[in-house]
Amino acid sequence: MKAKMLTFTNQNSPVHRLTGATKLIVFAVWSVSAMITYDTRCLILMLLFSLVIFRISRVRFQDYAFVLYFILLFFLLNQLAIFIFSPLEGTRIYGTRHDLFHLAGRYTVTAEQLFYQFNIALKYAVVIPMALLFLLTTDPGEFASSLNRIGVHYKIAYSVSLALRYIPDIQRDYENIAFSAQARGIDISRKEKLPARLRNIVSILLPLILASIERISTAMELRGFGNGRKRTWYRGRPFTRSDYLALGMILAIAAGSTVVTFYDGSRFYSIF
């Protein structure tokens, strides 16, 4: 039942030292840039850049190894699905057709399709290192203040902090409920349908959750949450020079990639 999750690793690297707000902006701008561009040259450069940053951050392989399996699996299934549904998507996009070999029925592998799917793979690959970095190097205590700093209302920012605070507690309750159901002989035979088991657990869990929402609300009410128009943050950190440097860099990259991508009027870069 214990599920591994990505958690903050407390290390001292230039990436760890950046403020949460900076990393949040970098991650957001980076993701949007990677979403927009389909220019292979941009994507390759961005991938190399992100790998360099990843290297600098000194995060350890074992801290994120398990998600790589998920990502890889997702990746392969998705690539397969694209090919099955639309084997000639590449031809449609690039407007040319170079058959490599014929498989069966409507399935012919074309150079355009390979190039198109390679680009899709690149798009994912570009985002992942930055997403992992953001999660692994940002102290959860800084999430809320960072969101607030980039303009999100402090109440909404705090709800993100609450979610992070209570994920382990809810997981513990979930496990307790599953445990007592099993110890009662309910619910353990694999024959009992999974939906029925889940419904059982959820229908026990939900009233507990609703009651805890009331308790937490009263506690926060008693401690003066939500009175002021503004709020300060214990864990907030001021920007330093490296923060401005990082922000400058990311804006340059975003601008650069947008210009390169749309320079010839098309979002797609073709080698054909």
Partner 1 sequence: MSKVVIEFTDFSFTYRAQQEPTLRGITLSINEGEKVLIVGPSGSGKSTLAHCINGLIPFYYPGEMSGSLRIMGQEQSALSIAGLAEITGTVLQDPDGQFVGLTVGEDIAFVLENGAVPQLEMTERVEAAARAVDIHELLAASPQELSGGQKQKTMLAGVLVGNVDILLFDEPLASLDPYTGTKTIELIDRLQRETGKTAIIIEHRLEEVLHRPVDRIIVMKDGAIAGDLPAAELLSSSLLAEAGLREPLYLTALKYAGLVITPDMQPQHLDQLRMEGHADRLQQWMDSCAEEAEVLEPSPLLELKEVSFGYERDTEVLHRLSLTVNRGEMLAIAGRNGAGKSTVSKLICGIYRPSSGAILLNGRDISRDTIKERAEKIGFVTQNPNHMISKTLIYDEIALGLRLRGIPEDIIRGRVHEVLKVCGLHEFREWPVSALSYGQKKRVTIASILVLEPEVIILDEPTAGQDYRHYNEMMEFLRGLNSRGITVIMITHDMHLMLEYAQRTIVLADGKKLADDRPERILTDRAVVERANLKETSLFTLALKAGVGQPEELVRRFIAFDRRVRHR
Partner 2 sequence: MAKKDILSIRTIVAVGIGSALFVILGRFGSIPPGIPNTNIETTYALLALFALLYGPVAGLLIGLIGHTLKDAIFYGSPWFSWVISSGLVGLIIGLLVAGISIQDGEFGRKEIIRFNLAQIAANAIAWFAVAPTLDILIYAEPANKVFTQGLIAGAANIVTVGVIGTLLAAAYAKTRTRQGSLRKLN
Query: For residue 191, what are the contacts with CB-CB under 8 A and spacing of at least 6?
Result: none
Q: Which does 189 bind (CB under 5 to 8 A by kind): partner 2, partner 1, none?
A: partner 1
Q: Which stretch binds partner 1 (CB under 8 A): 28-36, 77-85, 108-116, 185-193?
A: 185-193
- Taking CB under 8 A as the criterion, the residue among 234, 241, 265, 271 binding partner 1 is 234
Q: Which does 228 bind (CB under 5 to 8 A by kind): partner 2, partner 1, none?
A: partner 1
Instruction: Give yes or no for residue 228 binding partner 1 (CB under 8 A).
Output: yes
End-to-end CA distance of the chain: 50
Distance, in Å, from the CA atom of 218 to the CA atom of 139, rounded to the nearest integer, reads: 27
Instruction: Give yes or no for residue 51 binding partner 2 (CB under 8 A).
Output: no
Q: How far is the CB of 220 from partner 1 (least distance, A)?
A: 6
Hey, which residues between 99 and 158 contact partner 1 (CB under 8 A)? 140-141
Contact 182, 188 (CB under 8 A): yes
Q: Which does 271 bind (CB under 5 to 8 A by kind): partner 2, partner 1, none?
A: none
Both tokens of 15, joined, read: 């990436």
Instruction: Give yes or no for residue 162 binding partner 1 (CB under 8 A).
Output: yes
Q: Which does 180 bind (CB under 5 to 8 A by kind): partner 2, partner 1, none?
A: partner 1
Instruction: Give yes or no for residue 203 binding partner 2 (CB under 8 A).
Output: yes
Q: How far is the CB of 130 from partner 2 (least distance, A)?
A: 8
Both tokens of 124, joined, read: 């994912």
- Taking CB under 8 A as the criterion, the residue among 65, 219, 255, 259 binding partner 1 is 219
> Which of 25, 93 has the CB closer to partner 2?
93
Question: What's the sign of the alpha-carbon dihedral 76, 82, 85, 89?
Answer: negative
Instruction: Give yes or no for residue 170 binding partner 2 (CB under 8 A).
Output: yes
Q: Cα angle at 75 between 71 and 79, to 5 degrees?
A: 175
- Taking CB under 8 A as the criterion, the residue among 42, 132, 177, 246 binding partner 2 is 132
- Taking CB under 8 A as the criterion, the residue among 13, 40, 78, 270 binding partner 2 is 78
Both tokens of 255, joined, read: 């601008």
Backbone angles phi, psi at 99, to 5 degrees: -70, 135
Question: What's the sign of the alpha-carbon dihedral 242, 246, 252, 253?
Answer: positive
Instruction: Give yes or no for residue 96 binding partner 1 (CB under 8 A).
Output: no
Distance, in Å, from the CA atom of 14 to the CA atom of 250, rounded to the nearest integer, reads: 15
Extended strands (E) in 15-124:
99-104, 107-110
- Taking CB under 8 A as the criterion, the residue among 56, 86, 176, 244 binding partner 2 is 86
Chain CA centroid to CA 224, Å: 33
Q: At what angle do helices 20-36 and 241-262 cross, to 10 degrees?
A: 10
Distance, in Å, from the CA atom of 99 to the CA atom of 214, rounded to the nearest integer, reads: 64
Binding residues for partner 1, rule: CB under 8 A, are 2, 140-141, 161-162, 164-165, 168-169, 173, 176-177, 179-186, 188-189, 192, 200, 203-204, 207-208, 212, 215-228, 230-236
